A = this chain, B = another copy of it.
Amino acid sequence: MELTVYLAGEIHNPWREELRTQAIKWNLPLTFTGPMEDHDRSDLIGEKILGKQPTTVLRDETASSINNLRTQILLSKSDVVIAYFGDQYKQWNSAMDAATAITLNKPVILIRDEKLHHALKELANKAQLVVETPEQALKALAYIFE
């Protein structure tokens, strides 16, 4: 049995890379997918494909169409979602991805520093598991294969 794990959230720190490296070390049969991790590429993908847009709102709209296309397809193919919340940015699309997965009956593991707990409390309550580090999330997935 293999599992596909969608890695939602924070793209400005190397948590995905750490997780992928650790999973290989532990020899876990996991395939990881996730959003575009290059912030500029993600913001500009709309204009890159569809050409210059007349307004910033439209540039955003074309980019988000394509980012959401990517997310919808990858989420639908995932068995479990790990969502990492950092202390910067609004991260509304991370919250959206997590809630979408939960509503589609895919379990979500939330990673967040305890100091973020208050603001995240409703989402934490809906997640299947709340941890503080990527390694803890990976240990929980490893437990499934024991």
Contacts and interface: CB of A to CB of B under 8 A. Distances in A.
Interface of A: 1, 3-4, 31, 33, 36, 41, 45, 48-50, 54-58, 60-61, 63-74, 76-77, 79-80, 85, 89-93, 95-100, 102-105, 107, 109, 114, 117-126, 128-132, 136, 139-140, 143-144, 146
Given A49-B136, A125-B65, A119 B92 contact: yes
Given A103-B100, A131-B49, A121 B61 contact: yes
A69 B26 CA distance: 19
15 contacts: A1-B33, A41-B146, A48-B139, A49-B131, A49-B143, A60-B121, A61-B121, A64-B122, A69-B109, A69-B128, A85-B92, A90-B90, A92-B119, A93-B95, A96-B99
A144 B70 CA distance: 5
